[in-house]
């Protein structure tokens, strides 16, 4: 391959990025996180002021939670230091750290700040007393203690949550998980190993801050299962809780259902989860437009869509085609009528537009055959049959008789 020559015809204002960051951190990081880091480096090196989380979110067309997640990620990797203050623990300052200072291998393997490590060491020594203070309900004292998640050595299996407590999409995907008999069972060895996993413990602590309470054994077991058995990354776990909390759902059953649905869809990172959520919302919007509703869908309507898309695995184009047929037939939206069309197609194993086209051809051929039969049955009778005397027996006359009659007439 030819060598590529790099050159520049101008001297730009520059932002310095350490090569160690590029080699040891950038390549494995989420692209949106890298954008935040580089932009922060530019702002700090340029001496910009009045920087805020909201301004960063506006610049990058992200949410403030996306920016906070990126900042927490780089702090976890010892590349920045977040200064926090106030009752809301708000960020008041950001200090860029030298990537060359910590050992890159150590930073990648144990991406928890040294201060956090000291906290965790003290945490291990004080776990028992912290539990006692929490169970005694010691108010402010308990709130000031950063607790290590209570990971019991022996925990009962988590029962699958009732489907009726969930939204339509997660309920449907959870039903699929139930059929596969997904079991959540954390062994004592896993529990001990995860108790010493600093990244896991750090993730649990952040989740505790999200839900504003210590994790109970059932919640810890679920997080352990997602982290160790399903391979959910810390970023995905944090986004899972952020997503559920944004919907007003903190129940462990609901969170479990969403997590299982993401696993069914092979979602591995927050970006995949965002795309899945966006696609789901765009599906609702497309169907609503096809039926000329001009409003958000009701829950019962979403249940229909969930059955079409998740249980029957219909292509969106097929669903939209059924909606169009409904509108042409009834001149109004009717989910029951659309459901009838799709149910008929589903029973015939029709799930794509190509299948629909073939079925239309078969129907047209059958309909043409029926019309031909009807035409044959209803063919008009001959003029002779229409004679009002056709029911009387006609007298036959031979040729000899006709000749005889002619002779008589000529004789006269």
In this predicted model, which residue has the larger pLDDT, 25 or 49? Answer: 25
Go through the chain and tell me how many residues it has. 412
Q: How is residue 3 annotated by DSSP? A: P
Span of 13-17, 92-96, 138-142, 378-382 with lowest mean pLDDT: 138-142
As a whole-number percent, the residues of the chain with pLDDT over 70 amount to: 68
Task: Give residue-wise pLDDT tens across range 170-217.
Answer: 555 444 444 344 568 888 889 889 989 989 999 998 998 888 888 988
* Choice between 122 and 396, residue whose per-residue pLDDT is larger: 396
What number is the average pLDDT over the span 106-115?
A: 38
What residues contact 87, with CB distance under 8 A and at least 6 apart? none
Q: What is the mean pLDDT of the segment spanning 76-95?
A: 80
In the structure, what pLDDT confidence band is assigned to residue 68 with cuts at 50, 70 and 90?
confident
The DSSP symbol for 225 reads: I
Residue 337 confidence (pLDDT) above 70: yes
Query: Could you tell me if 158 and 256 are in contact, meaning their C-beta atoms sit under 8 angstroms apart?
Result: yes
Most confident of 62-71, 100-109, 319-328: 319-328
What is the distance, to the nearest Å, from the Cα of residue 84 to the centroid of all Cα atoms in its chain? 33
Q: Rounded to whole angstroms, how far apart are CA atoms 114 and 120?
A: 10
352: Cβ contacts below 8 Å, ≥ 6 apart = 315, 317, 318
Pairwise CA distance, residues 232 & 280, whole Å? 21
Please give the mean pLDDT across all residues of the chain: 74
* Local structure of 117: helix, strand or coil: helix
Percent of the residues in the chain that have a pLDDT greater than 90, as a whole number: 17
Condensed to tens digits (0 to 9), the pLDDT of residues 225-280 reads 999 999 999 999 999 998 888 878 888 888 998 898 888 888 888 888 888 776 66
What per-residue confidence (pLDDT) applies to 401? Answer: 76
Q: Convert the pLDDT of each residue in 292-329 to its tens digit.
A: 987 777 878 888 998 998 889 899 899 999 999 999 99
């Amino acid at each position: 391959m030819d060598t590529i020559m790099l050159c520049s015809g101008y001297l730009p204002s520059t932002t310095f990025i350490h090569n160690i960051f590029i080699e040891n951190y950038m390549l494995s990081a989420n692209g949106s996180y890298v954008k935040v880091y580089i932009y922060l480096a530019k702002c700090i090196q340029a001496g910009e002021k009045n920087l805020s989380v909201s301004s960063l979110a506006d610049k990058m067309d992200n949410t403030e939670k996306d920016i906070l997640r990126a900042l927490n990620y780089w702090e976890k990797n010892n590349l920045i230091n977040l200064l926090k203050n106030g009752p809301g623990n708000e960020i008041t300052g950001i200090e860029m750290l030298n990537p060359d200072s910590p050992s890159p291998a150590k930073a990648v393997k144990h991406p928890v700040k040294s201060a956090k490590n000291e906290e965790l060491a003290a945490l291990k020594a004080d776990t028992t007393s912290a539990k006692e203070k929490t169970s005694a309900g010691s108010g402010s004292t308990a709130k000031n203690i950063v607790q290590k998640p209570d990971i019991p050595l022996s925990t009962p299996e988590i029962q699958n949550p009732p489907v009726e407590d969930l939204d339509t999409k997660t309920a449907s995907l959870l039903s699929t998980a139930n059929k596969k008999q997904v079991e959540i069972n954390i062994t004592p060895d896993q529990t001990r190993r995860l108790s010493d996993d600093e990244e896991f413990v750090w993730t649990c602590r952040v989740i505790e801050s999200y839900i504003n309470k210590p994790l109970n054994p059932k919640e810890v077991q679920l997080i352990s299962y997602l982290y160790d058995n399903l391979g959910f990354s810390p970023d995905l776990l944090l986004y899972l809780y952020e997503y559920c909390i944004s919907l007003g759902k903190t129940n462990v059953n609901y969170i479990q259902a969403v997590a299982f649905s993401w696993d069914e869809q092979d979602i591995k990172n927050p970006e995949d989860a965002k795309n899945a959520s966006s696609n789901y919302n765009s599906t609702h919007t497309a169907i609503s437009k096809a039926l000329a509703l001009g409003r958000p869908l009701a829950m019962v309507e979403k249940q229909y869509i969930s059955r079409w898309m998740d249980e029957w695995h219909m292509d969106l184009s097929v669903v939209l085609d059924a909606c169009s047929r409904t509108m042409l037939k009834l001149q109004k939206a009717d989910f029951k009528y659309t459901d009838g069309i799709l149910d008929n197609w589903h029973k015939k194993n029709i799930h794509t537009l190509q299948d629909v086209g073939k079925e239309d051809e078969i129907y047209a051929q059958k309909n043409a055959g029926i019309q031909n039969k009807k035409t044959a049955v209803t063919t008009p009778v001959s003029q002779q049959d229409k004679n009002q005397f056709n029911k009387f027996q006609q007298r036959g006359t031979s040729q000899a008789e006709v000749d005889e009659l002619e002779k008589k007439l000529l004789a006269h």
